[in-house]
Structure 1
Amino acid sequence: MKRFVMLSMVFVLALSIFAGCAKSGDGGKASQEPTTSSQLADSTQPTADKLPQVTLKIMIPGDRPPDMDLIIAEAEKRMKDTINVKLDIVFVPWSDLAQKTQVTLGSGENIDLIFDAPWLHINQMISNGYYEPLDDLLAQYGKTVLEKRPQQMWDANKYGGKIMAVPLGVSYMSGNSYMIRKDIREKLGIEPIKTYDDMIKFAYAVKEKEKGLVPMTAAGSTAQQQYSLVNFRSLNDYQTHIRATHALGNSLTLYYKDNDGKVYNLFEDKDQVLTWLNDARKYYTDGLIYKDILSAKDFHQLFKSGKAAITPNGSFGLGDDFINSLKQNAPGAEVEMVTFFDSTKGANYANFKQWNFLAVPKVSKNKERAVMFMNWANEKDNYDLLSYGIKGKHWEEVGQDKMKLLDTTNYWGFGYVWVWNPVDERSEADGDPTTHALDMILRDADSFTTDILTGFEFDTSAIQNDISQYNTIEAKYYPAMFNGVVDPATTMKKFEGEAGPALKKIQNELQKQIDAFLAMKK
C-alpha cells in the first residue's frame, strides 16, 4: 500500500519567506537550521511560562499498531514543556477512508488534522471550503515544515495559489525496474543485463531453452495499465520523454513529449508509441509474453510462484515478499533488479506533484497548535519517533540516514500518511547499496528537469461526460493492444472509430487550459 499510495504510485507554493532559506544543494535541506517547537512556543507565548494544554484530534488512514499508545505517550512527554499537546489519533481503514473522511468533514465534526489526497477528494473538499489556507500559519508556526521540503515541492502543489495542505512525500518520481531470474540468466550463460535489448535477448533464450517458464509478464488490467508492457517501457524513454497527461491517468492515447507544452493524440501522432506497440505484438506472437495476461488478476504472482523470468517492478527495491515467495516456491531461485533508469542529472522530468497531504479543517479550534505539532513532527528526533517507533525497541539508528528495524509486529511505519519529508526519511541499513543510491537521487529535487507544466491543474468539469465515455471504450481495447495481444493496426482503427471523437474533445480542452496556463507564466 505504501508504494502505491504515494504510489504508489506523487509535490504547495513559493513563499516569500524562502528568500532567507536558500537551498544548500543537499537534496532539500535549507541552509539555515530549522526552527524547533521549543522556539516556536517561545515566540508565540513570549510572556507566558507555558502554553495551555490542548488535545489534537488527528484522522489518518490505516490500522492502529499495538504499540501506538507507547509512541503517543513518548510524544506527549516530549511536547509537554514546549507546545503542550495531547494526541487523539483516529485510524480509518483504507476501505472506509473516502466515505468516513467525507462524512466527518461534511458534518462539521471537530478535527484538527486530516489526511487527504488528489486520488481521494482533496480538490472537492477544498472547493467546498472545508480546509484552512496555511500560508500565514506555516510562516509563523511551521518554519521547519517549510524548510524540510524543497521549493519545487511547494511550487508544484498549489491549490488556487494557496497552501491548502502540507504535501507528504520523499521523492519526485517512482523508481522503476524489472525483476529478473538471476539463477536462470547465469544458467544460460548470459551476461548481466544492461539494456532493454539485452533483456529481450534473455527472454528469447528463456523461451528457447527453459520450457515451462514464461519469459515475461506484465499487467493486463485497466486498473494497473501503468504496468502494461508498453506503458512500463515508456518510463525509460529518454529520446522523446513521452509521458501520460493530466487528463487520462496512465493512458498514453493522449501524451506529452519532450517539454513543449503540447498534447499529442495517439490516433494522429503515433510517434514512438506505435513502435512500442508493434514490438509488443511481436513479443506476444513469438511467445515471450504470458498468453493469459489479460485474465491474470495478479501479474506478479506468476513470478513469485517461480513460473516467470521477467516482471516489471514499481520501485528499485526487490522487497522481501518477492524474494521469500520465490524461494519458497522455487528452491534455489535467485532474483536481481535490473533498471534502465538514467541517473544523469536532468535526464528525468518531474512536476514534483505529491499524492498524500495533511490538512487543517476549517472547524478546528486549534489551528495554530495543529501547525505547531506538524512543525514538531518534522524535527528529526520526533520524525524518527512517529515514523519508526521507540529507538532501541522498534528500531535502531545506523548513521544519519539509515536504520535497522527491530520490531515491525507491534509498530510499523506509516509516516507517509502524516509526517513524510525527503530530508528525514531513513533507508533500511541492510538494503541494497545500489537501490539506496538510486532512491537518494529520487529524493533530490535538483536531480530533475522541471516539467513545463509544473503547477498545472486540469479542470475536467467541461468534458466529464466525454472522459466517462472514453474510459468505457478504452477498457475494451487498451490492455490488449498495449500488451501485444492484438494487432495494433486493425485494433487502432476500431478503437479510433469508437473513441476518437471523445478523445479529441478531451485533447482540445486540455490543450486550451495548458495554453492559458503557459500564457500566465510569461
Structure 2
Amino acid sequence: MRGRSAVSAGLAAMLALFVLAGCSSNGKNNAESSAPSASSKEPAGTASEETKTEKLDPVTLRIMLPGDKPSDYDDVKAEIEKRLADTLNVKIDITYVPWSDLSTKTQVTLAAGENYDLIYDAPWLHMNQMISAGYYEPLDELIAKYGPTLQSTRPQQMWDANKFDGKIMGVPLGIFMVQGHSYLIRKDLREELGLPPITTYDDLIKYAYAVKDKYPKLSPIVPASSDDEKGYSWAAFRQNDETGKIRSTHALNNSFLLYYKNNDGKVYNLLEDKDPTIWGWITDARKLYQDKIISPDVMSIKDWSGEFHTGKSAITLTRSFKYDYWQPNVLQQNVPTGTMENVILMDFTPGANIINYQMDNFISVPAVSKNKERAIQFLNWANEKDNYDLIEHGIPGKSWEAVGDNKYKDLITESHGLASFSMIWNPVQERYPDTDEDETVAKKDFIKNGDNFTPDILTGFSFNSEPVKNEISQYNAIQSKYYSILFNGVGDPDEYYGKFQKEAKDLLATIQQDLQKQIDAFLAAKK
C-alpha cells in the first residue's frame, strides 16, 4: 500500500493489498481515479485565492502517516517550509508509524486526544469505528471554503462515493477509480518453454503446468496465506479478473464468505449457498494444490512475493498493471537471466465492470486539532502540481526528474518524498513511471475515468459495524482458521466448508442480516 520503501519486495507486495497497488522507490502505490484542475498550474509556493492574504501566524502541523521515515525527509521538509514561509506560514512535523503498529498506534492516539492535525486512516483499518467514536472533524464546510484544489483534482464521483453518513470525514486519496491488478510471471521461462504471450486464465494455468514439468525445483505459484492478505489467496484473487461481478462486502473486507453479486443490493452468504463461481474458484485452487502447482508449503511461506523475486516461483499476484522498475533488478540479483512480464486479464470494455468508486485511503482531521482551517489550507496547497511533485517524489534533480508532463524517473533507489497515497494522492497530478509503455498508460488512463464503469447500486453506502462488532470479532477469529486453507486449495473443500459452517454460520447470518438492514434503508432513502 506505499512513504514506504520498495527495498523489501515481500513487504511491498503485502502492503499493496492495503493501499490498493504496487510499490516504487519513493514509497508510492499505484492504485485509484480524474478531472483537470485550474489551480494545478500555479507555480511552486503560490497560495490559492483563499491563502493570498496577509501573512498568517506561524503554525506547526502535526501529521501521522504510515510507513518509515524517507531518506530525504529533512530536505523535503525544509523545502516545503521555505515555500510556505510567506503564505500559510506552516511548518510540518510528521510522525511515521510502522505498518505493524499502525492500527494500535493511531487508535490509541485518537482515543487519548493527542494533539495531531492530520492523520491517515482507511476503511480497512478502523475509519468507520473512529468516525462512530467522534474522533474526526466533518470537513464539508472547511473544504468548500479552503480547498478549491482539493475539490478540482478529484472527480465528483470520488467525493460522492466517499462520504460517511453523508459527510466528508476525510479527503479521499486515490489515483484510479478501481485497483489495477495482474499476474506477474517469469517472461524468460515462458519464452524458454516456447509459449506465446498469455491472454487467458487457461493459458496462465498451462504455463504453470509447463513450468512444473520442465523446472521441478520451482514452485509455479506461491499465493499469500495470512489472514491479513486473504485478498492475495489464489481463489480470492480470481474476482479481480471480473471486476465487480462478485464483490466482497462492506462488513467483511476482502472476504468472500459474504459477498455482493448482480448489482442487486443483496448480501449473499457462502455458508448458506455455494455460489457456483466462488465455489469454482475454490475447487480449482484445490486441484492446483493437489497437482503441486500451488506450492505445498504455501501455508508456511511468509514472504510469498519474495519467492518470485528470489527465483523460487514462476507466478505471483500484484495490484498493478506493470511491475515497478526495481523488481527486475531484484530478480536478476538472484537469477541473472530472469525477466518478467504482467499478465492482465481485466475486461477493458466500457461498462463491463461494476465499481463503487470507494477509495482505500483517507487523510482526516482529528476533532481535537486546534488548526483545522490551516490543515485544510495546507492539503489544498499540497495538491497543487509543483507541491504535489515535491511531496511525492522529493527534490527534483536530486531524487527524481520529470519526463514530459505526466511521467517521472527516479534517480535514487532509497525511499524519497514525504507521502503519496497517505496524504495527497489524486488522479490529476499523479505521474506515471517512465518505464510505462503506451499500452500500460492506456490501461491506467482507462481506470482513471469513472465513466468507463457501471456504478454499483451501493455507491455512497457506508456500513456502521457497531451493532455487530462483537459478532464480527468472533467471526474473524473463526475465519482465520479456515479461509486461506479453502481459498488456496490446501484442504478438502467440502470438509473444511463443513467445519467452517458449523462454527461460523450463525455469526455470519447475524452480520449478514444487519448489513442487509442497513443497505435496505440506504436504498429506500435514495428512491
TM-score by length of 1: 0.88
**2:47 paired residue among 37, 41, 46:** 37
Q: Which residue of 1 aligns with 2:59?
A: 54
Q: Which residue of 2 aligns with 1:253?
A: 257
- Trace 1:94-493 onto structure 2 (pairs within 5 A): 94-237=99-242, 241-267=245-271, 268-409=273-414, 411-412=416-417, 414-493=419-498
> After the TM superposition, which of the residue ranges 30-39 and 60-69 deviates more from structure 2?
30-39
- Trace 1:4-19 onto structure 2 (pairs within 5 A): 7-9=17-19
Preserved CA contact (<8 Å) 1:6 1:169? no
Whichever residue aligns with residue 245 of structure 2, its letter is H
Query: How far did residue 131 of structure 1 move?
Result: 2.5
Distance 1:81 1:414 in 2: 23
Distance 2:56 2:19 in 1: 40
- Is the alpha carbon distance of 1:516 and 1:141 closer, same or farther for their aligned partners in structure 2, counting shifts above 3 Å? same
Query: How far did residue 139 of structure 1 move?
Result: 1.0
- Is the alpha carbon distance of 1:185 and 1:59 closer, same or farther for their aligned partners in structure 2, counting shifts above 3 Å? closer
- Is the alpha carbon distance of 1:84 and 1:303 closer, same or farther for their aligned partners in structure 2, counting shifts above 3 Å? closer
- Is the alpha carbon distance of 1:166 and 1:186 closer, same or farther for their aligned partners in structure 2, counting shifts above 3 Å? same
Q: Which residue of 2 aligns with 1:28?
A: 34
Query: How far did residue 327 of structure 1 move?
Result: 1.9
Distance 1:473 1:115 in 2: 29
**Which sections of structure 2, spanning at least 5 residues, go unmatched?**
3-11, 21-32
* Residue aligned with 2:421, SS: helix
- Is the alpha carbon distance of 1:6 and 1:369 closer, same or farther for their aligned partners in structure 2, counting shifts above 3 Å? farther
Preserved CA contact (<8 Å) 2:70 2:418? no
- Is the alpha carbon distance of 1:196 and 1:80 closer, same or farther for their aligned partners in structure 2, counting shifts above 3 Å? same
Q: Which residue of 1 aligns with 2:81?
A: 76
* Residue aligned with 2:518, SS: helix
> After the TM superposition, which of the residue ranges 479-488 and 188-197 deviates more from structure 2?
479-488
Query: How far did residue 334 of structure 1 move?
Result: 1.9
Whichever residue aligns with residue 50 of structure 2, its letter is L
Whichever residue aligns with residue 146 of structure 1, its letter is Q
Distance 1:329 1:38 in 2: 50
Query: How far did residue 93 of structure 1 move?
Result: 3.8
**1:508 paired residue among 488, 506, 513:** 513
Preserved CA contact (<8 Å) 2:129 2:466? no
- Is the alpha carbon distance of 1:104 and 1:294 closer, same or farther for their aligned partners in structure 2, counting shifts above 3 Å? closer
- Is the alpha carbon distance of 1:295 and 1:305 closer, same or farther for their aligned partners in structure 2, counting shifts above 3 Å? same
Whichever residue aligns with residue 288 of structure 1, its letter is I
Query: How far did residue 321 of structure 1 move?
Result: 4.9
Query: How far did residue 196 of structure 1 move?
Result: 0.3
Distance 1:487 1:66 in 2: 48
TM-score by length of 2: 0.87
Query: How far did residue 195 of structure 1 move?
Result: 0.3
Distance 1:412 1:320 in 2: 17
Distance 1:410 1:319 in 2: 14
Query: How far did residue 174 of structure 1 move?
Result: 1.9
Preserved CA contact (<8 Å) 2:17 2:231? no
Query: How far did residue 99 of structure 1 move?
Result: 4.1
Preserved CA contact (<8 Å) 1:6 1:354? no
1:303-329: CA deviation from partner (whole Å, max 9, x where unpaired): 223232222222222234542332222
Query: How far did residue 301 of structure 1 move?
Result: 2.9
Q: Which residue of 2 aligns with 1:13?
A: none
- Is the alpha carbon distance of 1:88 and 1:179 closer, same or farther for their aligned partners in structure 2, counting shifts above 3 Å? closer
Query: How far did residue 33 of structure 1 move?
Result: 5.0
Preserved CA contact (<8 Å) 2:267 2:515? yes
> After the TM superposition, which of the residue ranges 428-437 and 184-193 deviates more from structure 2?
428-437
Distance 1:153 1:472 in 2: 33
Whichever residue aligns with residue 242 of structure 1, its letter is I
* Residue aligned with 2:168, SS: coil
Whichever residue aligns with residue 258 of structure 1, its letter is N
Question: C-alpha root-mean-square deviation of aligned residues, in Å?
Answer: 2.5
Preserved CA contact (<8 Å) 1:398 1:429? yes
Preserved CA contact (<8 Å) 1:5 1:355? no
Query: How far did residue 137 of structure 1 move?
Result: 1.3
* Residue aligned with 2:362, SS: strand
Whichever residue aligns with residue 261 of structure 1, its letter is G
Distance 2:498 2:199 in 1: 36
**Which sections of structure 1, spanning at least 5 residues, go unmatched?**
11-26
* Residue aligned with 2:457, SS: coil
> After the TM superposition, which of the residue ranges 255-264 and 313-322 deviates more from structure 2?
313-322
Query: How far did residue 388 of structure 1 move?
Result: 1.3
Distance 2:68 2:524 in 1: 46
> After the TM superposition, which of the residue ranges 210-219 and 95-104 deviates more from structure 2?
95-104
Query: How far did residue 241 of structure 1 move?
Result: 0.7
Distance 2:275 2:71 in 1: 53
Whichever residue aligns with residue 283 of structure 2, its letter is N
Query: How far did residue 132 of structure 1 move?
Result: 2.2
- Is the alpha carbon distance of 1:269 and 1:396 closer, same or farther for their aligned partners in structure 2, counting shifts above 3 Å? same
Query: How far did residue 368 of structure 1 move?
Result: 2.0
- Is the alpha carbon distance of 1:33 and 1:376 closer, same or farther for their aligned partners in structure 2, counting shifts above 3 Å? closer
Whichever residue aligns with residue 230 of structure 1, its letter is A
Distance 1:8 1:95 in 2: 12
* Residue aligned with 1:294, SS: coil
Distance 1:67 1:473 in 2: 43
Distance 2:304 2:73 in 1: 35
> Highest Rg: 1 or 2?
1
Query: How far did residue 389 of structure 1 move?
Result: 1.6
* Residue aligned with 2:299, SS: helix
> After the TM superposition, which of the residue ranges 203-212 and 383-392 deviates more from structure 2?
203-212
Distance 2:317 2:220 in 1: 12
Q: Which residue of 2 aligns with 1:19?
A: none
> After the TM superposition, which of the residue ranges 444-453 and 63-72 deviates more from structure 2?
63-72
- Is the alpha carbon distance of 1:151 and 1:246 closer, same or farther for their aligned partners in structure 2, counting shifts above 3 Å? same
Preserved CA contact (<8 Å) 1:281 1:488? yes
- Is the alpha carbon distance of 1:291 and 1:31 closer, same or farther for their aligned partners in structure 2, counting shifts above 3 Å? closer
Distance 1:280 1:407 in 2: 40
* Residue aligned with 1:415, SS: coil
Instruction: Provide the identity percentage.
Output: 53
Distance 1:73 1:67 in 2: 10
Whichever residue aligns with residue 454 of structure 1, its letter is T
Query: How far did residue 402 of structure 1 move?
Result: 0.8
> After the TM superposition, which of the residue ranges 130-139 and 302-311 deviates more from structure 2?
302-311
